[in-house]
Each structure stands twice: as structure tokens, then as C-alpha cells.
């Protein structure tokens, strides 16, 4: 009886999660927008590697944890066309080649008793509109293994046949993501949809068959204002929503100095304040974010922490200088 109650409790938790946080939540989304929009793959013209680790509600048992490693690149040639002459500023634009971006990432996500491990492969197409503004489209195929962590549940008889169902083995779920992205040396905006298929998950008792993955929508943007020749201020926002989840909005501002050091402050609906700092050393980037919630859960946690380490390979890993590579 106790065993069945625990199994049912796990299934109920899964049902609750189906209407709550299903996808990882990132505070440094500007650091690696590819994680939330496949159209970003290769958009900056560099080959980059990105490692992200996030501990949400540190100290709270069963709190969400996310680890991911991503890669993205641009397939392009050295040829370029130059427009403008004399005192007019030169504009570098690609020819017919160099419009394809590729990306991929592997991830592991845990939320309570629920574990998800998987991967994503991305194809992106980049074209030019209105001079030096780039329009991109991206499509990702995703696949992940979804299961309830039985190691967190104690059973009187570990060899019980009930455990040899897909409750123990988990389920393999294919899905897809789609995104659109606009990039300019001053601004960027993106819209994406994740979990397009809205797959159903069946774990344990067959009567629990209406546990679906929800389609998630992201809209984000940022605009850079030059304060002087060495510093910039960049306000940004991200809007997240699913078909059953209440909308969530982050609004923030970031200050950067010579693109080597930066710091920012954001507000997230739900009374969450986010601070982030970062630095660049050669072609390596380091970022850290701390989320502080003013809700009751903060009394039982040490906040949320997120670390990002990235490497960009290219002729000059500075924002929007990738135009010179064509």
C-alpha cells in the first residue's frame, strides 16, 4: 500500500509539473540566446562553446537543477563585398555563401523527482535585410529521456514487477523547436516556440495518460546605447508563456565597459531580483547570476545561482565585429 501511494504521489507531482516549470529557466539568457532560440545558431559568425550550470533555490530539496553544454558555428567563406567609398563608412556584407548556421547541445535537467536528459541539433538560415540587419530562421530536432527518479523513493520490495514498467525505464520523447531572430549591431529581437509536438508522457499506471508537455513561447529583445567610446548600456526583456502557465517577464539593464567587464540588474515577475556580473579574457567569457526572491520560499533557500563559461573562436571575438570575417 505504501509503495502504491509513493508511485501515485510521483505521478501527481508529474501532473503538477505539467502545468508549472517544464523547461529550464535561465537568468543570463543574453549570454547564450541559442538555448532559447534555435535561429541564433551561428548568427554572430563565430564558433562558440558554452557551458551553463544553474542551481535554483539552493538548499531546497528537489529544487530545479540544470546543466547544459552547447556548440554553434557558421558555415561561411572568406569572400566579402564592401559598399561605400571615400568618407562614407564601409559596410561589410556577405555574398551568397555563409548563410548556414549549425548548433547543438546536450543537457540534464532535474526538477523534484523528475529527470530529463537529452540533446538538440539545429539548422539555421541567415539572410540580410536593410543593409546591416540580419534575419534568421532556425529549426531544432530534440530528443530526451524522461523518467521519475526511483532512487529518491524507497520501496519495500525493489524487485516488484510494478517497477519494471516505464516508471523505472522512463520514456524517450522526440520534439522540435522553431525560432526567428533579428540582429543588428545595436539591437536584437527573437521569437521562438519550444516543444512544438506537445507530446504525451505515460509513466506508471496507464490511467495517467493526459500528462502532456506544453508548448512554450519566448519573446526577447535588447538595445545597446553607447555612453562613450568605451562603455554601453543595454536594456533588455524576455517574455515567457505556455498554454497553461502564467506569463513571466524579465526586465533588466546591463552596463559593459570595453566589452571586457559587465554587470546588470533585472526584475522578474513574482518578486525576483537578479544581479549578474561577467568578464572577458581573450576569447573566454565568464558570467555569474544570483536570483533573490522576495517570496516565502527565500526563507528556506540560499537563492538561485547560475554560472556560464564560454569560448568564442574567430578573428576577433567582439560584438558584431564578425562582419569583417566575410
pLDDT tens for 83-93 read 444 444 445 45
Element (H, E) at 15: helix 2-17
pLDDT value of position 206: 55
Q: How far apart are CA 35 and CA 240, in angstroms?
A: 14
Contacts of 44 (CB under 8 A, 6+ apart): 74, 183, 312, 319, 320, 322
Radius of gyration in angstroms for the set of CA atoms belonging to the chain, rounded to a whole number: 22
Regarding beta strands 91-93 and 100-111, do their DSSP bridges make them parallel or antiparallel, or are they unpaired? unpaired
Closest CA to 72 of 232, 310, 289, 297: 310
Q: Nine-digit cell at 170?
A: 522512463
- Please give the DSSP secondary-structure letter assigned to residue 167: H
Closest CA to 308 of 25, 53, 56: 53
Number of helices and strands in the chain (H, E): 2, 19
Q: Nine-digit cell at 253?
A: 539593464
Q: Dihedrals φ, ψ of 60, to 5°?
A: -95, 120
Name the residue with cell 549578474: 276
- Please give the DSSP secondary-structure letter assigned to residue 227: S
pLDDT value of position 56: 84
pLDDT value of position 18: 43
Chunked into runs of 10 residues, the chain (326 residues) has average pLDDT values of 43 44 83 95 93 84 86 74 45 60 93 85 93 93 83 58 59 93 95 91 57 89 92 96 86 93 94 94 94 78 90 64 42
Sign of CA dihedral 283, 259, 120, 53: positive
Transcribe 197-250 into DSSP letters. T--EE--SSTT---EEPPPEEEEEEEE-EESSSSEEEEEEEEEEEESSSPPEEE
Q: Nine-digit cell at 246?
A: 502564467
Answer yes or no: pTM beyond 0.85.
no
Q: How far apart are CA 67 and CA 50, in angstroms?
A: 11
pLDDT value of position 1: 43
User: Could you report the per-residue pLDDT of 192-225, keeping only the tens digit for each?
Assistant: 999 999 887 765 555 555 567 889 999 999 999 9
- Mind listing the domains of the chain with CATH numbers? 2-325 (2.40.160.40)
* Residue 280 neighbours by CB distance under 10 Å: 19
Alpha helix (H) residue ranges in 117-162: none
pLDDT value of position 139: 98
Residue 93 exposure: Cα atoms within 13 Å on the Cβ side:
17
Q: How far is CA 166 from CA 16, 22, 149, 209, in A?
A: 19, 20, 12, 13
Name the residue with cell 543537457: 107
% residues pLDDT > 90 (the chain): 47
Amino acid at each position: 500500500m505504501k509503495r502504491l501511494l509513493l508511485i501515485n504521489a510521483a505521478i501527481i507531482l508529474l501532473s503538477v509539473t505539467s502545468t508549472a516549470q517544464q523547461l529550464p529557466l535561465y537568468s543570463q539568457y543574453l549570454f547564450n540566446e541559442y538555448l532559447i532560440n534555435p535561429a541564433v545558431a551561428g548568427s554572430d559568425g563565430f564558433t562558440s562553446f558554452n557551458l551553463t550550470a544553474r542551481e535554483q533555490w539552493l538548499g531546497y530539496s528537489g529544487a530545479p537543477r540544470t546543466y547544459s553544454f552547447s556548440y554553434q558555428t557558421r558555415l561561411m567563406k572568406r569572400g566579402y563585398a564592401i559598399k561605400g567609398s571615400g568618407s562614407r563608412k564601409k559596410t561589410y556584407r556577405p555574398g551568397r555563401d555563409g548563410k548556414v548556421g549549425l548548433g547543438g547541445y546536450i543537457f540534464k535537467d532535474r526538477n523534484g523527482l523528475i529527470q530529463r536528459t537529452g540533446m538538440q541539433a539545429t539548422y539555421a538560415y541567415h539572410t540580410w535585410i536593410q543593409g546591416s540587419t540580419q534575419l534568421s530562421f532556425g529549426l531544432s530536432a530534440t530528443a530526451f529521456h524522461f523518467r521519475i527518479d526511483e532512487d529518491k523513493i524507497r520501496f519495500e520490495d525493489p524487485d516488484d514487477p510494478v517497477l519494471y514498467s516505464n516508471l523505472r525505464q522512463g520514456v524517450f520523447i522526440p520534439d522540435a523547436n522553431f525560432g526567428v531572430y533579428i540582429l543588428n549591431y545595436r539591437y536584437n529581437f527573437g521569437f521562438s516556440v519550444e516543444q512544438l509536438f506537445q507530446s504525451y508522457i505515460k509513466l506508471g499506471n496507464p490511467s495517467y495518460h493526459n500528462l502532456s508537455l506544453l508548448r512554450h513561447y519566448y519573446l526577447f529583445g535588447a538595445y545597446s546605447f553607447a555612453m562613450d567610446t568605451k562603455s554601453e548600456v543595454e536594456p533588455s526583456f524576455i517574455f515567457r508563456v505556455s498554454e497553461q502557465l502564467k506569463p513571466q517577464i524579465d526586465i533588466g539593464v546591463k552596463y559593459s565597459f570595453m566589452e571586457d567587464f559587465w554587470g546588470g540588474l533585472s526584475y522578474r515577475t513574482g518578486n525576483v531580483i537578479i544581479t549578474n556580473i561577467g568578464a572577458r579574457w581573450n576569447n573566454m567569457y565568464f558570467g555569474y547570476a544570483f536570483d533573490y526572491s522576495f517570496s516565502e520560499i527565500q526563507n528556506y533557500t540560499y537563492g538561485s545561482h547560475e554560472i556560464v563559461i564560454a569560448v568564442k573562436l574567430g578573428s576577433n571575438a567582439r560584438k558584431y565585429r564578425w562582419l569583417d570575417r566575410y
